[in-house]
Chains A and B, each alone.
Chain A
Amino acid sequence: MRLSTDDLMAAADELLPMMTTVVGVLVPGAAPLLSIGAKIVQGVAAAVPEAEALYARIQSGDVPTQAELDAYATAEDGAYAALMAKLAAA
């Protein structure tokens, strides 16, 4: 299942005011704003495909194939490794 263009545009319309408000409150400076804004965009972009997959999986009731399970596991391994790397670097 993929989000349609209309879905994405509607979501963007909803997101923009929130982004402006939240980022503006957190960081009044331009450079931090750009930095955090980029992180937000990256975070949303990373989360949406997973959210789509999760939503579709929960709603479908379909039994996943082993190949799908393996693909999910690989993605989860990557996300976990990325988190641990960030923690180690922090």
Chain B
Amino acid sequence: MRKFLFGFLAAAILTGCTANQAIDSAQSVTATAAPTIIANTSATPAQAKAVADATLAASLTWQALGLYVGSGHADAAVMARIGQLAPPVHAALKAAQDAQRNGNSAGVAAGLSAFQAALGALKTYATTKGVM
């Protein structure tokens, strides 16, 4: 499975599909984790795991998009739009992380929900424009 994941990422990079597939991974991670979140008054272990998974997945997404931007074949208008769509993803994740540090369960849930929505918008655009 590790080899599959490695090969999946590497092949995606080589074929220019990294961005979309990394985003797919991120969405899969957060979509799986989000329903398990229970709105308690303090952050739960499940929320800590969800935040960790989302954070790692976001890192992959940024790296993948960075590879696209640095490829020398990126479209200027697409890059500009990515520059608009990425900050909400990062901001929502930061909100979830901050809430996690503060033990704010509702804040974590809200942050991850916003993260999922923003990531979905980014993925939809990237898919439409053939970034992947």
Contact = CB atoms under 8 A, between A and B. Distances in A.
A47 B2 contact: no
Contact of A50 (B48, B56, B72): B56
B112 interface: no
A67 to B, nearest CB: 11
Contacts, number: 147
B14 A19 contact: yes
Interface of A: 1, 3, 7, 10-11, 14-15, 18-19, 22, 26, 35-36, 39-40, 43-44, 46-48, 50-55, 57-59, 61-64, 66, 68-69, 72-73, 75-76, 79-80, 82-84, 86-88, 90
Given A22-B15, A50-B63, A69 B70 contact: no
A76 B59 contact: yes
Interface of B: 1-3, 5-7, 9-11, 13-15, 18, 25, 29, 45-46, 48-49, 51-53, 55-60, 62-67, 69-74, 76, 79-80, 82-83, 86-87, 90, 93-94, 97, 100-101
Contacts of A84: 83, 86-87
B13 A43 contact: yes
